[in-house]
Amino acid sequence: MIRDRGDVRERIVSAAMKVFSRYGFFKAPVHLIAKEAGVSKGLVFWYFRSKQELVIEVAKRSLPLEIVDSCLESGLSGEKILECIGKGYLEKYRDPVQRNLLLHAMALETLYKEIAEEMNSLCEERIDKVAERVFGKPSIKGKVALRAFFGGLMCYTLRRPRDIDEEAFLKDLIDITVAGFRNGTAP
Amino acid sequence: MIRDRGDVRERIVSAAMKVFSRYGFFKAPVHLIAKEAGVSKGLVFWYFRSKQELVIEVAKRSLPLEIVDSCLESGLSGEKILECIGKGYLEKYRDPVQRNLLLHAMALETLYKEIAEEMNSLCEERIDKVAERVFGKPSIKGKVALRAFFGGLMCYTLRRPRDIDEEAFLKDLIDITVAGFRNGTAP
Amino acid sequence: MIRDRGDVRERIVSAAMKVFSRYGFFKAPVHLIAKEAGVSKGLVFWYFRSKQELVIEVAKRSLPLEIVDSCLESGLSGEKILECIGKGYLEKYRDPVQRNLLLHAMALETLYKEIAEEMNSLCEERIDKVAERVFGKPSIKGKVALRAFFGGLMCYTLRRPRDIDEEAFLKDLIDITVAGFRNGTAP
Amino acid sequence: MIRDRGDVRERIVSAAMKVFSRYGFFKAPVHLIAKEAGVSKGLVFWYFRSKQELVIEVAKRSLPLEIVDSCLESGLSGEKILECIGKGYLEKYRDPVQRNLLLHAMALETLYKEIAEEMNSLCEERIDKVAERVFGKPSIKGKVALRAFFGGLMCYTLRRPRDIDEEAFLKDLIDITVAGFRNGTAP
DNA sequence: CATGAATGAGCCTTCATTCAT
DNA sequence: AATGAATGAAGGCTCATTCAT
């Protein structure tokens, strides 16, 4: 069998995503992942020291950290960065596999410090950085607004409402975030 | 030990909450729950046909459905109902046990239709009802704003920011939700 | 099924002895022990936290510590105590199961400190105590003689010579031990 | 690295000795041996058809057969041959690796006929030959005395007593063996 | 109601062995 | 000769569930 280096590992990760997304991290047996990847069970443990290592790798990939980071790195600001993040987010989690994995991964935060750290970094540093980029300077209200923005995205992903399409939703959400920040009673 | 009828059942549920919150629903062995509740393992299966039944009961209780319902029933409207929900929500999930359980329960949505239905009811009907109560009449933008509100709460619960206290957060969040809805570019 | 308390545990230990003696501690699968004991595999782990725990219990029982102790406690001295130990030893290891287990258990000394401690206690304190009882007062030569005595027993057990019966062997061995001590070049 | 033919094979055997001595024959994974030898796992199976083959080779080497043989071949007799054997024995098993291997190898006797044969040859033919060389003519008592001698050596090796040095021990042991044989009640 | 011994399915993991390169 | 990816069998152990008492 001719396979690229790294190819197999990636195939295992992909298979794991499918299987984890369907059964959850803990009810998914490794042998199903191997089967889905078309390799032997033993080989999974050649590439990953343990199931937990695979779980954590998959969980990390299913968090939206990279989206936020790439938008931050692109140097955007104001509504543009919200748009960047929103689009990336909605696109990533349009895939039901990723959507489910996100839910499962968030629950892992309780159990594995690696995931907890990613969530920390996402929910505290990153979110505040974005707030500053959007509203110009750090402020409590900006942080709250950003949490509303992020939460709104998550909420939409959790249950895609039938009567609101992605584009319209994102436009409104950005609108609310920005206008809410600017025109509140306590500017 | 004098035990009321139903007392034991409740003790088991409480114990299950602690244990599930710590280990997750699937990594929590029934014997730990029994131990925590101070009863025998067998008794757990007298009150609950299976572990799954217990899991679902605990998961349902850890969702915020009751909070939303009681605020809806109280007849409040406008910002008042947001305040009602916000306070209830923040209070409930201030308890780390409940906070973790919420995360675990959300992931269950993928696996058990009972939980999926609760989430459906919460994220679609309830959220839209509240939107109507807050903004007077149904509108896409109102629904989006409400998702931002709910998402914001969830986001806050997930990581309580050190520099924003509950009361201030809620005030700002309501402010953003309402002002965002009213003063957006496309009313 | 009506079984005495403790009966089951003992049945498992007995089964383990048979199986361990035949396959060695590490090549003996737990399921064979369970089968031999007529119980389920799971039950073995109800009585023993791990296979290792069972291994150590069996290994301890197959060392001759108890024989030496009971002869020491009986207050015997001189040749009598050698006779007591010799008879006990030869009787115990006449059973091929015990004989094999002794070999396997001695090898465990390298791996488990529990066994190492038993061996220590046997080979140092006990052997020297016996030497004192036999020869009246502590002496290097007495210790050496006792080691020859013990070693001789072990050697006989390892390979029962066809042309030397137990009784004769023991008589000669005691004779050599005592006379060797008394009549050596350096008394 | 410049390697002779046969060098690699020997390196593997050496590595196996270290690893087997530490983990025991059955708990020692081949990959550790390969690592210790600085070769790939596959190569071990180029030089040895199976792990068992390697196990048996190492086990055979760690028995004291060669020592006895070389002393027999040297034509020594009387106390001299005991001295030869004793010195060789004590020297070989001064190395903790060899000492542990001896224990592990003795347990193998139960499982592999190759080892059983070696032990047979050692414990019956060889021991009796040596007895004859020491005491001039075959006799039951001589055989017993020789078993005491060998057993004493093994016993010393198993636990080196702190207060008896090798040389003194061997001198006393020979003394006891010889005097025990000559001066017993039943010559 | 209550207990806890007993069961058995299933899971993660290890490891000897093979084989294409 | 040498490598290390790949395999598959087997093992230890956990755990939900049952049931006699």
Looking at B29-43, D61-75, D172-186, which range is the least confident one? D172-186
Angstrom distance, A40 CA to E13 C1': 13
Q: Do chains C and B touch (3 or more CB pairs under 8 A)?
A: no
Residue A47 sits in the same domain as residue A115: no
Regarding whether C18 and C69 lie in a shared domain, the answer is no
**Contact yes or no for D181 and C183 at CB 8 A:** no
Distances (CA, A) of D185 to C67, C165, C170: 27, 18, 13
For C103, the closest chain D residue by CA position comes to: D107
If you average pLDDT over every residue of chain A, what do you get? 94
Q: Are residues A13 and A36 in the same domain?
A: yes
Could you tell me if residue A1 is inside a domain? no
User: What residues of A are in contact with residue B177 (Cβ under 8 Å)?
Assistant: 148, 176, 180
For residue A5, what pLDDT is reported? 62
Query: What average pLDDT does the segment D149-157 reach?
Result: 96
pLDDT of residue B61: 97
| Residue A4: per-residue pLDDT | 61
Cβ-based neighbours of C141, under 8 Å, separated by 6 or more:
C181, C184, C186, D172, D175, D176
- Return the residue matching tokens 């936290």: C49
Domain check: are C39 and C93 in the same one? no
Q: Is residue D70 part of a domain?
A: yes
D101 and D122 share a domain? yes
D116 touches chain C (CB under 8 A): no
Query: What pLDDT sits at residue D3?
Result: 55
What is the domain-level CATH number for residue C38? 1.10.10.60
Q: Which CATH number does the domain housing residue D103 bear?
A: 1.10.357
Tokens of residue D114, six digits:
């190759």
Are residues B93 and B144 located together in one domain of the fold?
A: yes
Average pLDDT (C163-178) is: 96
- With cut-offs at 50, 70 and 90, classify the pLDDT of residue A183: confident
pLDDT value for B187: 45
C97 within domain boundaries? yes
A near C: at least 3 beta-carbon pairs less than 8 Å apart: no
Taking 70 as the pLDDT cut, the residues of chain B under it are 1-5, 184-187
Same domain flag for A178 and A121: yes
Is B1 contained in some domain? Answer: no
- Residue whose structure tokens are 């001698």: D149
- Cα B148 versus chain centre, distance: 16
| Secondary structure (DSSP) of A77-106 | -THHHHHHHHHHHHHHTTSHHHHHHHHHHH
Q: Does residue D168 form part of some domain?
A: yes
**pLDDT, tens only, C72-102:** 999 999 999 999 999 999 999 999 999 999 9
Q: Which residue among A44, A60, A76 closes a domain?
A: A60
Mark residues 33-72 of chain D whose C-beta is closer than 7 A to nucleic acid strand F: 39-43, 45-46
Q: Are residues A130 and A98 in the same domain?
A: yes
Helix (H, G, I), strand (E, B) or coil at B180: helix
| The pLDDT value given to residue A1 | 45
* Average pLDDT of span A129-133: 95
Q: With an 8 Å Cβ cutoff, are B152 and A159 in contact? A: no
CA nearest to D123 within chain C: C159
Cβ contact, residue pair A176, B177, below 8 Å: yes
Q: Is the CB of B40 under 7 A from strand F?
A: no
Range of the domain at D27: 7-58
The predicted pLDDT at position D4 comes to: 60
Distance A56 CA to F9 C1' (A): 28
Tokens linked to C131: 């030497």
pLDDT in tens, B108-134: 999 999 999 999 999 889 999 999 999
Whether C42 maps to a domain, the answer reads yes
Cβ pair C107:D110 closer than 8 A: no
Q: How many domains does chain C have?
A: 2
* Widest distance between CA atoms in chain A: 67
Do A57 and A48 contact (CB within 8 A), yes or no? yes
Residues D21 and D71 in one domain: no
Q: C98: which residues sit within 8 A by CB, 6+ positions away?
A: C17, C21, C62, C92
pTM of the model as a whole: 0.94
Q: What pLDDT is stored for residue A3 in this prediction? A: 55
pLDDT, position C177: 97
Last residue of a domain, one of A34, A60, A86: A60
Compute the distance between CA of residue B99 and CA of residue B90 in angstroms, rounded to an integer. Answer: 10
Q: Which two tokens stand for residue A128?
A: 């505040």
Tell me what pLDDT residue C2 has.
Answer: 46
Do B68 and B51 fall into the same domain? no
Task: Compare CB distances from C179 to D107, D164, D183 and report the shortest one's residue.
Answer: D183
pLDDT confidence of residue B90: 97
Which DSSP state fits B50? S
pLDDT greater than 90 at residue D121? yes
The residues of the protein lying within 7 Å (CB) of strand E read A 2, 28-31, 41-42, 44-45, 49-52; B 3, 5, 8, 39-43, 45-46; C 1, 3, 8, 39-43, 45-47; D 27-31, 41-42, 45, 50-52
**A 25-44 residues with CB below 8 A of B?**
26-27
Q: What is the pLDDT of residues A146-173, one digit of tens each?
A: 999 999 999 999 999 989 999 999 999 9
Residues of B (44-103) placing their beta carbon closer than 7 angstroms to any atom of strand F are 45, 50-52
In terms of domains, do B34 and B87 share one?
no
Burial tier of B163 (Cβ tally within 10 Å: 0-12, 13-18, 19+): exposed
Residue B108 domain-assigned (yes or no): yes
Confidence of residue A2 (pLDDT cuts 50, 70, 90): very low
Is A2 inside a domain boundary?
no
> Residue C187 above 50 pLDDT?
no
Q: B47 and B82 share a domain?
A: no
